[in-house]
Structure 1
């Protein structure tokens, strides 16, 4: 789902109409196909795969990529031999989205039979989503005759990436990925290779330090440098890596690469990289400073907390400062009481609920702050986000080895109070803690009736995440298999086709934030239900005044939650729309609690994030204002959103 260039990282649908004209859903048959997709009606979609019209065969195959029903596998595999390459592309994509091993043989055969370069590329990537360990050798060692074109290189690289995400890898696959990092290869192949090396679990890359470090330092594309830098974390036995990471953290021109360098640093490298991390605390980009503070929170040891208190007090940005204060509390020392008092004083004086939340998160490193955090968590008349951060801090505190044994019974009562309190975030987090086997609370909560009572008071689908957490905990306490969670059907919120047809292809939306303006291009052809919901909420003024409640540097900025803490939703759910799109820089996706549970929250990606491809609906693309997106922080406001004419 990555785009064709750095400037356009989200690939448009191959069936999009013009940017100013009507969208494709003026065609009644396409509305019929999309309605069946939305309702997950495989039987209604299958006949379209045999239609004489190429458009309808292709659209039906793409619809099945969202349905993901194994009952469609045979029909989709038959379409791999369709006379039209566009249908073969769509069928391969849908088979990959279904991810069933049944399709492996058909896709492998298609790779060798396919004459169209793009269709072969899609077959290779789809193969990676369902390939077995045995079949991986073919994917890693394509015949030279196949590997001469750009599309095949891209397909092989993405196929190896998709296989790696599933834990399917080999020495030959890793060796091929290293070769694909070569700057002579196309951008998309290098990007896939670097991400595969960074995200495939369990790799030991010490033998490949030279090639990976060269990519991290010299590749012309920031996204490749960033992913290659992340991969260096898997070569931490090499004496050369700390110096490379320190240099990248200080000097790379793109802030996202500097973040990746800080995140790749390990505890074993603490001494040689520490000075670079200190320098990064004053980086002009706040997200880099935060990554540096998180490095110290994760890896600092053997130093008094007072050093970090002093450093924190000199930082202007509240999130890096609060994170460094957490480090000070974690390390403690003779000044522990003074550090705790300083953090609590900042909490009292702060006017920002998000800063208050982060200060409670910091206090979660110190069991001595238990009473203070408990009082703050359950205080009345405060923004809900404070309670959300507070219960998370209490749970984190309880997980510390230093948590006093005599306070454990008090903590259990606090969890019970949280579940009974009625706030969805507090009860959901508390329920998760109760089922944490490391906390051994099953014997304390032998009766799950209080959880069942709380569950019955929730409203679905609005409170689905809290419902899931409570149900999982009830099942845990009663030693039962986890019950399936309820997913709203299309009938509860059908696509408003009247509204969809009124949205021009290429419709733009202006998001005025407290940091500046961002413009989205809405992808109505690819995600009609999601775009219609977004437009309807815009017209209601739903998003005006909401906050960005979640910002993960070099990943996403997320907003649109009516509560402001990520636990809020609308009163309806949408079905996932997994069009043939990829998460690149500035892709706008819908947050969810699982397939077909999307609602009002959305996120913008800072950079290519291919592990999200095909898992979260993409409904828009940033076309201007990425500089604003990259500066957004937790607590920044969505002043208003309006449709542009």
Structure 2
């Protein structure tokens, strides 16, 4: 980050002295210095690099890699982390040996982002040649993003001289994590990852190792269950405990696992660990953990209570539906209650009709559209509610979120094995009706159902004309997600190769450099909500286009009165949608800006429908979520108010956003 530049100058002021004396005096008077440079983009070269990055112009960026100024070489290398053009791999690989250590780190990061397997050998060679410990960590992590299955051994076994190097241990752990996300692992890699959980290792290594175990698919962690359970209960970092708890879902339900999860659910002081423990509880563990889950329904943290309700919805067995209904009716938080009502209806029994009637009665009495939507979602567990949900979904003049939730509920019903055969033709017609509504969420959800192979609807829709007609009425890039869904369904029904979806070019919405240059590096934004204030620090030097867009929307009052429409416990709180259901957008798209940043607690990222499709929606992470790194633009960081973020719920309003210095 460049330092502010100050220019000082003095004016020689010739003043008349006393007329009586006739003496002329020359007086030098101090004047106020000009304001400091606002951010690094006062430098025209850096603006050129960022503009080329935004345009994905590899040919314009490559010459900057050869400039004598290390700052330009570094920024050009970082630009390729967003461009991700394999044509730059050779040049970036060469800069792994750059004289400037910051350029070497940037080159390693960009190679990892490009995920080009041809960079594997250069990265492996650099592990032993790199003299800087921090840069070596970058190289190891990048190798995890590029390595082949045969090269995984390099990550699994560090050279002997690095066995106690803390930076190398962290790099190894992150490399194994990145490889695991790509499905590359081995018994030796898993064993090494478990070793990296030891408290003697640096916190970054433990965090990466715990996340690797939690997110690498297909692992059997039963042999390590006792070790992981001890980490989940004893590690000093809540983030490590949380990820370790999550990984216990991959161990068989031996006595130690349900006991550990129950203890964590009841006793861990951090709500995020309690959530992870609840999510790790499986159907096979139901009997020994359900009492802890019952207790969690009344946890002081609403996100924990919601996760407990979701546990019963997913795994309850042998529970009388009426009993779940009774428990639900005693709950005061609407989202927790609606989720437990869904569990009651799913269990059903001889009280199925009474439970369904109780939910329908609550729906009619509810005023909050989000609660009404969740109650429709609950009714989606019972095909007998088909007519009620259909009427509610397509009622005119209601908030759009009800149609969104209702369509999802109808699709869930049709996926239920108990859905009546005689209703299947009516459902197919309903989907065609949904496509014709013109509502992007209803259309997109219906189109997704049409291409669901489990529903076997292809035979009923040989003519895709109605889909094409609906697609052609959409406005791009605003309606991109609905366009994608409709086009994918056309491709599926016609059995043709996938049509690439259109991505807006930089020229359609270039970075507003005049605005960027007015935003200081310390710019704050205060999000005023009914739960309290949350303060962001905007990262203009790392994401100039995204920050400029956010600031412009704030100044227009765009976010005033918008809702948080998506809250996933121990993951994100998301808002900024003009529709309030996640399907809304601005009239332009932004290009992704993948700076050397990581999704820790309180990172603020832009939602997207794929690379280079960002718009107005943003989310705040509750905890480290490293699987989002390099995939979603980070444009801000929470600097105060995380206790408010932890209490945000669906439907909470953004009263306004104030920009402050």
| TM > 0.5 fold call | yes
CA, structure 1 residues 107+309, in 2 after alignment: closer, same or farther (shift >3 Å)?
same
How far is the alpha carbon of 1:473 from its aligned partner? 0.3
2:276 matched to 1:260? yes
Are residues 1:584 and 2:605 paired?
no
Q: 1:539-588 deviations in whole A, cap 9, x for unaligned? A: 00000000000000000000000000000000000000000000000000
CA distance in structure 1 between the aligned counterparts of 2:659 and 2:420, rounded to whole angstroms: 55
2:125 maps to 1:100: no
Q: Answer yes or no: is the 8 Å Cα contact 2:2–2:39 preserved in 1.
A: no
Aligned residue pair count: 632
Instruction: Report the Cα distance in structure 2 between the residues aligned to 1:223 and 1:394, rounded to whole angstroms.
Output: 37
Corresponding residue of 2:383:
367
The Cα offsets for residues 293-352 of structure 1, whole Å up to 9 and x where unpaired, read as 000000011222111100000001001100000001111111111100000000010010
* Shift, 1:137, TM fit: 0.9
Give the structure with higher Rg (CA). 2
SS across alignment from 2:542: coil
Change beyond 3 A, Cα 1:158–1:306: same
Aligned 1:128-527 pairs, distance under 5 A: 128-527=144-543
| Structure with more contact order per residue of length (Cα contacts < 8 Å, sep ≥ 6) | 1
Provide Cα deviations, 1:232-275, integer angstroms capped at 9, x if missing partner: 11112422100100000000000000000000000011000010
Q: Following the alignment from structure 1 to structure 2, what is the Cα–Cα distance between the partners of residues 134 and 235?
A: 27
Q: State the Cα deviation string for residues 406-465 of structure 1 (Å, max 9, x = none).
A: 000010010000000100000000000000000000001110000000001000000000
- Per the TM alignment, residue 15 of structure 1 is displaced from its structure 2 partner at its CA by 5.3
Shift of 1:16: 7.5
Instruction: Report how far residue 380 of structure 1 moved.
Output: 0.6
Contact 1:20 1:505 in 2 (8 A): no
**Given the two structures, how large is their TM-score scaled by the length of structure 1?**
0.97
Output the CA distance in 1 between the equivalents of 2:332 and 2:130: 58
Q: Secondary structure at the match of 2:160?
A: coil
CA distance in 2, matches of 1:349, 1:29: 61
Match of 1:4?
none
**Aligned mates of 2:481, 2:466 — CA distance in 1:** 18
Instruction: Give 3-state SS (helix, strand or coil) of 2:350's partner.
Output: coil
Distance in 2, matches of 1:475 and 1:128, equals 34
Q: 1:194 to 1:15 in 2, by over 3 A?
A: farther
Q: 3-state DSSP class of the match of 1:145?
A: helix
Q: Which runs of 5+ in 2 are unaligned?
A: 6-34
* Distance in 1, Cα, partners of 2:125 & 2:141: 14
Q: Is the 8 A contact 2:253 2:285 kept in 1?
A: no
Give the distance between the partners of 1:268 and 1:507, measured in 2 at CA. 50
- For residues 16 and 207 of structure 1, the distance between their equivalents in structure 2, rounded to whole angstroms, comes to 52
1:606-621 correspondence to structure 2 within 5 Å: 606-621=622-637
Q: Which residue of 2 aligns with 1:605?
A: 621
Report SS of the residue matched to 1:511: strand
Q: CA separation of 1:77/1:17 partners in 2, compared to 1, >3 Å: closer, same or farther? A: farther
Local SS of the residue matching 2:525: strand
SS across alignment from 2:276: helix
2:254 & 2:157 partners in 1: Cα distance?
28
Residues 198-234 of structure 1, C-alpha deviations (whole Å, 9 max, x = no match): 0000100111112101110000010000000001111
The DSSP-based 3-state class of the residue aligned with 1:334 is helix
Unaligned regions of 5+ residues in structure 1, if any?
1-13
**Partner in structure 2 of residue 9 of structure 1:** none
Q: Is the 8 A contact 1:590 1:616 kept in 2?
A: yes
